[in-house]
Amino acid sequence: MPAILVWGKDFWLEQDPAVKTPYLAVVGNDTGNTSISWSSVSEMKALAARHGVPELMWPVYEGCEAEADIPLDEACTRSKALHEKLEAIWTDDLANDHWTNFVMGRLRDGYSFFIMP
Q: What pLDDT score does 81 carry? A: 98
Question: How much is the pTM?
Answer: 0.92
What sign does the CA torsion over 61, 62, 64, 65 have?
A: positive
Amino acid present at 8:
G
Eight-state DSSP code of residue 101: H
Alpha carbon separation from 14 to 17, 27, 33, 36, 112 (Å, rounded)? 9, 7, 17, 24, 18
What are phi and psi for residue 104, nearest 5 degrees? -65, -35
pLDDT tens string, the chain, 117 residues long: the values are: 899 999 999 999 998 777 777 778 899 999 999 999 999 999 999 999 999 999 999 999 999 988 889 999 999 999 999 999 999 999 999 999 999 999 999 999 999 999 999
Q: What pLDDT score does 21 carry? A: 74
Q: How far is CA 42 from the centre of its chain?
A: 13
Q: Give the residue extent of every domain in the chain.
A: 3-116
